[in-house]
Amino acid sequence: MSTIPRDKLPESTLALFRDGYEFIGKRCKRLGSDVFQTRLMLQKTVCMRGPEAAQVFYDQRYFQRKGGAPLRLRKTLFGQGGVQGMDGEAHRHRKAMFMSLMSSESIARLVRLMSDEWRAALPGWAEKGRVVLLDAARDILCRAVCAWTGVPLKESEVRKRTQDFAAMIEDSGAIGPRHWKGRLSRKRAEGWIGGVIEAVRAGRLNPPEGSALRTVAFHRELDGELLKTRIAAVELINVLRPTVAVARFITFAALALYEYPDWRRRLARQKDRELELFVQEVRRFYPFFPFVAARVSKPFDWQGYHFPEGARALLDLYGTDHDPRAWDDPETFRPERFLTWDGSPFNFISQGGGDHYENHRCPGEWITIELMKEAVRLLVMSMDYIVPQQDLTVSMTRMPTMPQSGFVIADVRPRE
């Protein structure tokens, strides 16, 4: 058994910030291996990429999530005590709570709410002249997801709440003052949503049966107890925050419509199958979350290498979605590739891999796909707009990234 190849630097944190999404891929290429070890933020870390690595990373005999994610991410992006850091039976039980919200009828209701908000916003966009699509889509999604979950949202609050949800993601990978801004946003949101959970439990608020608010407020743990208020808030925010974040993928979809006008024309012919191919390719092609983290729970050997107990492991999501062994010509935007995709749970992992119920794979994947499809329908069929001169560069070192300008559209005209 050999030891895992080592990155040449004793500590790679600066290199991670320099190489961004390409940090793991570049080193795997250089070392000729799907796995290498390094030190990140002073911790021994094993980096992995590719479908085979993803398969072993999601094997619960060898990896656990407890203690996997760095504290700075738990303080901003995830919150503490939520489903992301759980393992085994307790994780499956908590995950089932999220999965119970994902029926196709329920998702269709969320899509309708988003669509109605979008149509209602169109006249305002027409009047404004210029609209930053990323911000506008976040606003729409915040309104829609609050209505869908049953969380009351006053008009005067929309802006602040939307900004807080955005900051938890935006600032999660940052250091210094931006990191602290992300932490403050989380604190504010947990306070707000904690109050809403308590109002439901005290009978002052009566959200509909099956709504996320009601489900989380009355969810019982394996020991029969209700979730602590703060943890219930973390879990409801685990629905609200990422739904607002779908705005990023919607922005990338708008960028793709602009960069690949043939696809815009094809999609105008209203073929639902093509819409699905397009949206899947947007999720594969454009960068969102770079990695996921876990910890080796039991020493094991894989591909001739020994994985030591306790090591932190990072799985390269972006690099796996761009792995030339799984994807022909991966740096080309080509939605048709999804006509022949094998449906593997380990090669297309923008939202995690494995099984939605058993593993940590994102429970919001179908929500994301359906919201993106509706947004593309709206962009192609319900409005005209121009894309003025702007900086559309997508930085590969800012994580998570987006087009620099946030994608400005102008001269918006709603279609009848």
Residue 332, CA atoms < 13 Å, CB-side half-sphere: 8
Q: Write down the H helix ranges in 202-299.
A: 212-217, 229-259, 261-267, 272-285
Please report whether residue 313 would count as binding ligand HEM according to CB under 6 A.
no
d(CA 406, CA 391): 9
Please report whether residue 185 would count as binding ligand HEM according to CB under 6 A.
no
Which positions from 244 to 283 touch ligand HEM by CB under 6 A, shown as an x/- string? -xx--x----------------------------------
One-character DSSP codes across 28-75 = HHHHTSSEEEEEETTEEEEEE-SHHHHHHHT-TTTEE-TTTS-HHHII
Taking the least distance from each CB to ligand HEM, the nearer of 180 and 366 is 366
Contact, 367 vs 250, CB < 8 A?
no
Residue 168, CA atoms < 13 Å, CB-side half-sphere: 27
Please report whether residue 238 would count as binding ligand HEM according to CB under 6 A.
yes
Cβ atoms within 10 Å of 398's Cβ, excluding its own: 16
Beta pairing partners, 294: 313
Q: Which of 147, 362, 408, 412 binds ligand HEM (CB under 6 A)?
A: 362
Please report whether residue 150 would count as binding ligand HEM according to CB under 6 A.
no
Binding residues for ligand HEM, total number by CB under 6 A: 25
Q: Contacts with ligand HEM in 85-144 (CB under 6 A)?
A: 95, 98
Q: Contacts with ligand HEM in 314-353 (CB under 6 A)?
A: 317, 350-352
- The DSSP call for residue 76 is I
Q: Which of 24, 83, 234, 376 binds ligand HEM (CB under 6 A)?
A: 83
Instruction: Decide the pairing of beta strands 300-302 and 43-48.
Output: unpaired
d(CA 355, CA 377): 29
Please report whether residue 288 would count as binding ligand HEM according to CB under 6 A.
yes
Q: Judging by beta carbons within 10 Å of its beta carbon (0-12, 13-18, 19+), is residue 330 exposed, middle or buried?
A: middle
Q: Which of 54, 140, 217, 292 binds ligand HEM (CB under 6 A)?
A: 292
Taking the least distance from each CB to ligand HEM, the nearer of 215 and 368 is 368
Please report whether residue 239 would count as binding ligand HEM according to CB under 6 A.
yes
Q: Which of 63, 148, 278, 289 binds ligand HEM (CB under 6 A)?
A: 289
Taking the least distance from each CB to ligand HEM, the nearer of 150 and 364 is 364
Taking the least distance from each CB to ligand HEM, the nearer of 367 and 399 is 367
Residue 195 neighbours by CB under 8 Å, 6+ apart: none
Q: Which of 322, 360, 373, 377 binds ligand HEM (CB under 6 A)?
A: 360
Q: Which residues bind ligand HEM (CB under 6 A)?
A: 83-84, 95, 98, 238-239, 242-243, 245-246, 249, 288-289, 292, 317, 350-352, 360-364, 367-368
